[in-house]
Structure 1
């Protein structure tokens, strides 16, 4: 009994093959050599008869074939993919980093950036590092954030060392006590700048909303802020529970117990938005009653009411610098040096000079 013909004329992959179709399948179905099919699919300008080119492309489309970029990368030895592990993609902070890295990879380098969302889970960060390594990325950018960077530090250091030994160029967008070049702002300077803005405007009793200090970034910022306030004779309290699940309760509790507080420093843009809402909820206002300085540079800070004075962490420059470093190292060019990116103060409407305010109240 003869086998019935297919109901349509679509080229068919070999009956005994399972999984994705290969270039060999495309060549066989199109009636061309594998080298010709490869030239068409690479589309690198190699002369191929237009009719044959069209037949190969249509056949590839019908079979569902796509070029195996990973295999090509392994053969050529060139940079194709860079892994970016971001802390939490629901946070606009990491969205800005991902935007900067992916756009720069497309515009300035022959690279594709693979973005992995670790959801602030250090175990997931470890998993993604291993998976990116298995996918033979040319480089890795770790853009962690406000999560526990202590408990699994040794495990992460081990896998990063192994990746580097295998040729992966590892970079950091924050200080993490790991043996890899870092491209970020000076977080002690960030803390000093935030404190200086309140000191300059006459605040003598302030609060610091920093959260649990489980990573080097927060520790550096907190130490710098406390040192600056101490040097200026400014009394300060640390609102440590701010990220433990109830930021509003921490703010209202601090304001109730410390009625002389006139200024707050928020360690992230998300916390700063919560502070504004809570200050207003308890019948006070920003900045007339409480001045707020935020750290971060998400667009939310500029769209808030009032517009927040904040320390811009220059995330775009950090992402670009890390990617440029990876590209230079992989391509064998002179690599740019590890660098510290400068933060900048962006003035808004959330800080008031309490000396002028007290003067106005005294005359009313």
Structure 2
């Protein structure tokens, strides 16, 4: 039940309903009559409405609390997402609390369903596992906005344009004359949008993907995956002149493996990442990568959550624009 529902039932505005449900029945210089307060509270009780600290904060100026949920903080992308979300919440006068799910699907579901976020009035989530199957038709007890990943039925979603970002990276490698481009590392059955972009770019160039150049990885949030996968590819003897990495963390491991065996980057092997992390910028050589628009996504996610807290429908949200950042690793 939303505050807007209570306001409509009582025949008042959303801000008046919020004021009526406050402890004092006033907000700033606004005072309400006893009759108005009574009608709003009776409507709230009849509908089963539970006041939200965060929604009230948007009217009164008092800080509310929003849970920022990420799978881990070791992956630079997720730590940057958490930072961006916290900054955007702070700019709107909302407090934040961080929950780390330790790459556990059950913990992710618990955060969405309020089990581990019962001290918050809303959830901003960067998921690893959340989806229709995991939710199984459940309805969260509080507003939830999902940032990146695949959309989940019934939840607000701010998408990342993974496909076009990776398409730009793959086209860049092909335009530089590379023809034996490895994909590091495929982690799903279908490879997801990043792998689909890799395939599309080859098709555009009239090339077929060599399955021997598609390397699977166990954990795409660790540099170890890039290191181990590259060592395996080198030992296989399969020739390659570029490695397109699923993210910057994998790419950093790839750079370490190549340089340790004397492969020059980019002269012998060009390397690209995805996420535009600070670690990639200061790697040697500096990493070509895709900026996924993290700050723009975070801003949009907070806008959607604020709309829900205020009882408004935020409407559909398009993906943030991606940007190819070309550096020394692929020149």
Whether these two folds match at TM > 0.5 is yes
Cα shift at 1:285: 1.5
Is 1:197 the counterpart of 2:197? The answer is no
Aligned-residue offset at 1:311: 0.5
2:320 aligned with 1:341: yes
Bigger Cα displacement from structure 2, 290-299 vs 79-88: 79-88
| 1:104 paired to 2:88 | yes
2:245 paired with 1:271? no
Distance (Å, rounded) in 2 between the aligned partners of 1:112 and 1:192: 37
Matched, 1:85 2:66: no
Q: Higher Cα Rg: structure 1 or 2?
A: 1
Structure 2, gaps ≥5 residues long:
1-22, 30-49, 59-63
RMSD of aligned alpha carbons: 3.1
Superposed displacement of residue 227, structure 1: 2.1
Indicate how the Cα distance of structure 1 residues 242 and 74 shifts in structure 2: closer, same or farther if over 3 A, else same: closer
User: Structure 1 runs of 4+ off > 4 angstroms?
Assistant: 71-79
Q: 1:181 to 1:246 in 2, by over 3 A?
A: closer
User: What displacement does 1:307 show?
Assistant: 0.6
Which one of 100, 123, 129 corresponds to residue 140 of structure 1?
123
Alignment check: 8 A CA contact 1:205 1:234 kept: no
- Give the conservation status (yes or no) of the 8 Å contact 1:252–1:282: no
In the alignment, the residues of structure 1 paired with residue 219 and residue 300 of structure 2 have an alpha-carbon distance, to the nearest angstrom, of: 30
CA distance in 2, matches of 1:189, 1:120: 26
Is 2:227 the counterpart of 1:227? no
Q: Tell me which of the two structures has the higher relative contact order, counting C-alpha pairs closer than 8 angstroms and 6 or more residues apart.
A: 2
| Contact 1:314 1:342 (8 Å CA) reproduced | yes
1:243 Cα offset (Å):
3.2
The one of 125, 132, 146 equivalent to 1:172 is: 146
1:120 aligned onto 2:103: yes
SS of the equivalent of 1:341 reads: coil
Instruction: Output the CA distance in 1 between the equivalents of 2:120 and 2:219.
Output: 34
Give unmatched runs, 5+ long, in structure 1: 1-37, 46-70, 353-364
Structure 1 residues 76 and 186, CA, compared in 2 at 3 Å: closer, same or farther? Answer: closer
**What is the deviation of 1:118?**
0.9
Secondary structure in 2 aligned to 1:265? strand
1:289 aligns with 2:268: yes
Q: Is the 8 A contact 1:83 1:132 kept in 2?
A: no
Q: 1:251 to 1:220 in 2, by over 3 A?
A: same
- Give CA deviations for 1:141-172 in whole Å, capped at 9, x if unaligned: 22024xx557xx5232534xx22xx4x32221
> How far apart are the structure 1 equivalents of 2:173 and 2:125?
32
Partner SS for 1:176: coil
In structure 2, C-alpha distance between the alignment counterparts of 1:311 and 1:76, rounded to whole Å: 35
Note if contact 2:185-2:226 (Cα within 8 Å) is conserved in structure 1: no
Cα drift, residue 211 of structure 1:
3.7
Structure 1 residues 261 and 154 mapped into 2: Cα distance closer, same or farther (>3 Å)? same
- Counterpart secondary structure, 2:250: helix
User: Under a length normalisation based on structure 2, what TM-score does the superposition of the two structures give?
Assistant: 0.74
**What is the number of residues matched between the two proteins?**
277
TM-score by length of 1: 0.68
1:283-362 → structure 2 map (5 Å cutoff)? 283-332=262-311, 335=314, 337-352=316-331
Aligned equivalents of 2:286, 2:54: Cα separation in 1: 52
Task: Kindly indicate whether the alpha-carbon contact (under 8 Å) linking 1:211 and 1:243 is maintained by their aligned counterparts in 2.
Answer: no
CA distance, structure 2, for counterparts of residue 316 and residue 121 of structure 1: 25
Q: Where does residue 243 of structure 1 map in the other structure?
A: 219
Deviation at 1:238, TM superposition (A): 0.7
Contact 1:190 1:311 in 2 (8 A): yes
